[in-house]
A and B are shown apart, each in its own frame.
Chain A
Amino acid sequence: MTKKTKTLVLALGLGVLVAGCGHPSNISKETAHGMANARMESMIDSKADNPVHTVVMPHDEPVFPPGPGRDEFVTACVVCHSPRYITMQPRFSRSTWLSEVNKMKDVYGAHISDEQALKITDYLFSINGKAGRGQGPKGTYGE
């Protein structure tokens, strides 16, 4: 890509930034009702005869409730994936959540210290944990 093209694309990007943020927020009643009908905005700018095919991905990440370890969660986890990777899971035992966090840390390559891993586990368990101390299934990879 030429420098000129990059500048153009950057300018376009910033243009969208300004345009997008000019509207009032709509995190509102729809949110409270579980977003059953919510739709994410998307945009396609390519035409059939355009050799450059570009799409703009929607952004629809859930807002997370306060809780112990929330800061660590936001810092270490959300850089690589949406928090929805947590919200779509069923409630798991603390040991399952810990093994998930350790999997991210030790196997996938997330930058998480041992201390952070425990705090993140606290958070995941607090928002989506299963009562009781049952030994849940250990997470594996690629799922």
Chain B
Amino acid sequence: MNRRGFLQLMGVTGVAALAASCNRINSTVGTLSSPTNLVRFPEKTEMILLTDRPPQLETPIHYFRQDLTPNEAFFVRWHLEGIPTSVDLRSFRLNVSGHVRHPLQISVDELRSQFEPISIIAVNQCSGNSRSFFEPRVPGGQWKHGAVGNAKWTGVPVKSILDRAQVKSGAVDVSFNGLDVPPLPSVSDFVKALSIDHARDGEVMIAYAMNDQALPMVNGFPLRLVVPGWYGTYWVKALSDITVLPQPFSNFWTDKAYRIPNAPNGTESPKDLAKDTVPINKFNVRSIFVRPDPNEILHPGMQTEIEGVAFDSGYGIRRVEVSTDGGANWADARLDPEIGKYSWRRWRMPWTPRNRGQYRLMARATNAVGETQSKEQWNRSGFMWNVIQNVDVKVG
């Protein structure tokens, strides 16, 4: 389907969607501060609703007890109101153009059959994951810790495609655009870019499968850019256009949005905002508790297992320390075997609380180059949260 045909169809299906549900409107008036609705979108299981149009859906933490996050539970974040709701694989083409000798138009079938596939297990995490924990609070998607997931991505390295298109000398950046469109002509289309060297590193890939299945529409069907170790903003969904550029890429989404203070861990002070900023890029190190559940009641003298996942940008997690007394004492958790350098790594620690009462659990991950988690952190956009997590549990 060409872009115009797609838009026409989308417009019509938009009307249909509106109509289909015009009597099923629910409201959260009275719960303005912290809605915790579970919703079901197409091809998805029940997820935590942040916003419905465009959708932002958060994964309930218990899904992180699996190494690979199920497609139906993988988080969703779109920027523009005009998201794709229908794709005709007979007419859909991935367009490769710009500073190349041979522009390409590749169907999904051709992508599957004409290129050597690779698979990478990689974490995808929203830049704003855990934003709601920043203090003072900042505007934006009020995610808790579930705007992240780990999946096996299968597809074709961008390098293979660029090699076939034959990039001309002097290429600087490669931009990636998807089928989503702005609601008004005055709003910038969502396009992101990587340097030519990064795009050609052999790992940045175009995925046609996620956990060995087609991607759900809201996770980027039929093709999604996978940028291992980098924040989700670069993982362009419903990827339709790759453009090689002989000059640095520039647009709203790179020049003004998704920027972090040019300071260690992207930190700044609310009273003294950084003037020097850079585009957000690689993940920092962090860990997320998956067990016990905060609502779980534990019993004195009974062993339980504390469990979580930890990841970084690809150096590898080497150590996770756990405290059960609010940070006074720390002990090493046992690490599960690595299942991929860009995957998260599971850690576990058996724990037998002796007495009744409240306990504060904490976990601190460290990677192979000695990077560890923050004690405190703030930036105006609420990006890159990696403060050591506290989980308060009751033993009774």
Chain A positions within 8 Å of B, measured between CB atoms, are 1, 6, 9-10, 12-14, 16-21, 23-27, 30-32, 34-44, 51-65, 79-82, 84-92, 96, 100, 107-111, 127-128, 136-143
Contacts and interface: CB of A to CB of B under 8 A. Distances in A.
Nearest to A139: B139
By secondary structure, the B interface counts as loop
Contact of B32 (A9, A41, A87, A137): A87
Nearest to B90: A51
B256 A137 contact: no
B161 to A, nearest CB: 22
A12 B33 CA distance: 38
Contact of B27 (A13, A27, A92, A128): A27
B114 interface: no
B16 A12 contact: yes
B85 A55 contact: yes
10 contacts: A17-B20, A21-B23, A40-B41, A42-B44, A57-B53, A59-B52, A63-B27, A89-B139, A109-B182, A143-B128
Contacts of B22: 17, 20-21, 59
| Nearest 10 CB-CB pairings of A with B | A142-B257, A143-B140, A17-B19, A109-B186, A1-B5, A55-B42, A141-B257, A13-B16, A59-B21, A82-B53
Contacts of B214: 53
A95 B343 CA distance: 41
Interface string B371-396: 00000000011110000000000000
Given A52-B88, A80-B184, A16 B20 contact: yes
Interface string B43-66: 110100111111100000000000
Contacts of B41: 40, 42, 57-58
Given A20-B20, A109-B184, A111-B184, A63 B52 contact: no
B13 interface: yes
Contact of A143 (B5, B6, B141): B141
Contact of A53 (B52, B136, B222): B222
Interface in B111-139: 127-128, 131-132, 136-139
Nearest to A23: B23
B40 to A, nearest CB: 5
A60 B32 CA distance: 15
Given A91-B33, A137-B380, A58 B39 contact: yes
Nearest to A8: B12
Interface of B: 1, 4-6, 8-9, 12-33, 35-44, 46, 49-55, 79, 81, 83, 85-90, 127-128, 131-132, 136-142, 182-184, 186-188, 214, 217-218, 221-222, 233, 252-253, 256-259, 270, 273, 380-383
Given A59-B20, A142-B127, 14 more contacts: A1-B8, A27-B27, A31-B27, A38-B39, A54-B86, A58-B41, A59-B17, A60-B39, A87-B31, A109-B184, A137-B270, A138-B380, A140-B257, A143-B140
B39 A40 contact: yes
A27 B140 CA distance: 28
Contacts of B14: 57
Contacts of A56: 13, 16-17, 20, 42, 85
A25 B27 CA distance: 13
A10 B49 contact: no
